[in-house]
Amino acid sequence: MTTTCRVMVGVMGPSSLEEEVSKVLDVIQAQRGYGADRMRGVTGIGGVFFKSTDPEELVAWYQEHLGIQLREDGSVDFEWRERNAPHEVGYTVWAPFREDTTYFDPSEKSFMINFRVADLDSLLRQLQEEGVVVDDRVEDTPHGRFGWIMDPEGNRVELWEPVPRPDSASPASLPGVVVPGRGLGAEVMADPELRSRLRRLFGFDPVPGTLNVLLLDPLPEPLTSYVGWTDLGFAEDDPQVPGRRGLRYGSVLIEGKYQGIAFQGDEPRYPSNHIELISDRHLRDTLGLRNLDRICFEILPTSVDSATEPDD
């Protein structure tokens, strides 16, 4: 299975795990920089517009034969989600225009393509510096900001910086790198009584074992749910995890597809940039993960009950 948020690396050589993790993090940071630079350009197709001798009759044909659901203005929004940030909802517009429209001027062509961009002002300045014909007008609307250019073959190109839709306000995906754990999760979670407690707490039957992830960035906010260590049936002075008082946890969406729980141990030596993932499936097998592969997840709104975190 191919995932969209990973960097695959080769078999580990003689260098230490810490050095290998550092190399992978450097690759991810470089990719992020490259992506940020590309954000000045096109990020997707925002619309396909064309002239029609009878737009009303044409859209009725598409509706009858292809089942396209039209808006009142005769256009269609095809919704989709960002591959690496599935909480972000976008859309591409399909719309016929009357044959005598001036919206495509000064182009004499019968169509116009709209491209989505992340930073319209920066892109227009860059294009002007490169000698591209740029329309002086920039239009601000409730749907976003629009600008226009002409390509070398006389096609008018619309550039659109959309405003986020209300359902795109979730936090961005958090990237991390898969690392080895202490090997306790699978053994401990094989206990039927513990799994029963976790099932009641999380709302799904967890597969024994946890996926250990080293975060590239700190969590934007601490995990808000909490369960005491003894509430899970463990001894207060468990020798396998000295000083652990409980787990801070939260619901997550892993690689945009799989529900799960992320948690951090409430213990003195638990690293702040380390997190463990639990799911109703074996994540390494399902996602084809190896140590040092990249993985992304997003924190979802709290939907499970939690106990009160103890006072210090």
Give CA separation, 243 vs 54, 96, 174, 240, 296, in Å: 75, 66, 28, 9, 29
Q: 285 with 169: CB under 8 angstroms?
A: no
**pLDDT for 23:** 62
**pLDDT for 47:** 95
Closest to 115 in 3D by CA, of 68, 148, 67? 148
In a domain, 155, yes or no: yes
**Domain residue limits at 118:** 39-168
Whether residues 43 and 164 share a domain: the answer is: yes
End-to-end Cα, the chain, rounded Å:
45
Q: 208 with 190: CB under 8 angstroms?
A: yes
Whether residues 97 and 177 share a domain: the answer is: no
Mean pLDDT calculated for residue range 24-49: 63
Whether residues 159 and 82 share a domain: the answer is: yes
Confidence of residue 311 (pLDDT cuts 50, 70, 90): low
In a domain, 304, yes or no: no
Does the pLDDT at position 110 exceed 90? Answer: yes
Q: Which two tokens stand for residue 95?
A: 């719309």
Burial of 52 (0-12, 13-18, 19+ CB in 10 A): middle
CATH number at residue 69: 3.10.180.10
Whether residues 154 and 206 share a domain: the answer is: no
**pLDDT for 126:** 92
Does the pLDDT at position 250 exceed 60? Answer: yes
Whether residues 161 and 189 share a domain: the answer is: no
In a domain, 6, yes or no: no
Confidence of residue 29 (pLDDT cuts 50, 70, 90): low
Of the residues 134, 150, 168, the one at which a domain ends: 168
Helix (H, G, I), strand (E, B), or coil: what is residue 154? coil
| DSSP state for residue 288 in the 8-state scheme | T
Whether residues 112 and 203 share a domain: the answer is: no
**pLDDT for 96:** 94
**pLDDT for 269:** 83
Neighbours of 190 (CB within 10 A): 11
Q: Is the backbone of residue 255 left (phi > 0), alpha (psi -120 to 50) or beta?
A: left
Collect contacts of 237-246 with beta carbons under 8 A, ≥24 apart: 240/184, 240/188, 241/184, 241/265, 241/267, 242/267, 243/267, 243/268, 243/269, 244/270, 245/310, 246/307, 246/309, 246/310
SS3 content of the chain, % helix, strand, coil (to 5): 25, 30, 45
Q: Which range among 100-109, 119-128, 264-273 shows the weakest confidence by mean pLDDT? A: 264-273
Confidence of residue 213 (pLDDT cuts 50, 70, 90): very high
**pLDDT for 16:** 57
Average per-residue pLDDT for the chain: 82
CATH number at residue 24: 2.40.30.30
Give CA separation, 165 vs 20, 154, 264, in Å: 39, 33, 32
Whether residues 155 and 274 share a domain: the answer is: no
Of the residues 138, 168, 198, the one at which a domain ends: 168
| DSSP state for residue 168 in the 8-state scheme | G
Give CA separation, 204 vs 104, 113, 225, 238, in Å: 54, 46, 16, 26
Does the pLDDT at position 308 exceed 90? Answer: no
In a domain, 129, yes or no: yes
Does the pLDDT at position 28 exceed 60? Answer: no
Give the rounded percent of residues in the chain with a pLDDT score beyond 90: 48
Q: Which two tokens stand for residue 203?
A: 């709302």
Higher-pLDDT residue of 190 and 149 is 149
Of the residues 122, 150, 168, the one at which a domain ends: 168
Q: Which two tokens stand for residue 229?
A: 């260590």
CA distance 80 to 44: 11
**pLDDT for 32:** 44
Neighbours of 310 (CB within 10 A): 11
**pLDDT for 15:** 47
In a domain, 294, yes or no: yes
Q: Which two tokens stand for residue 25?
A: 């993090």
Whether residues 43 and 117 share a domain: the answer is: yes
Mean pLDDT calculated for residue range 288-300: 89
Does the pLDDT at position 303 exceed 60? Answer: no
Does the pLDDT at position 140 exceed 60? Answer: yes
CA distance 8 to 31: 13
Domain count of the fold of the chain = 2
Whether residues 162 and 177 share a domain: the answer is: no
Does the pLDDT at position 51 exceed 60? Answer: yes
Q: Which range among 60-69, 144-153, 172-181 shows the weakest confidence by mean pLDDT? A: 172-181
In a domain, 11, yes or no: no
**pLDDT for 292:** 86
Confidence of residue 17 (pLDDT cuts 50, 70, 90): low
In a domain, 122, yes or no: yes
Whether residues 178 and 159 share a domain: the answer is: no
Whether residues 196 and 102 share a domain: the answer is: no
In a domain, 287, yes or no: yes
Whether residues 182 and 285 share a domain: the answer is: yes
| DSSP state for residue 64 in the 8-state scheme | H
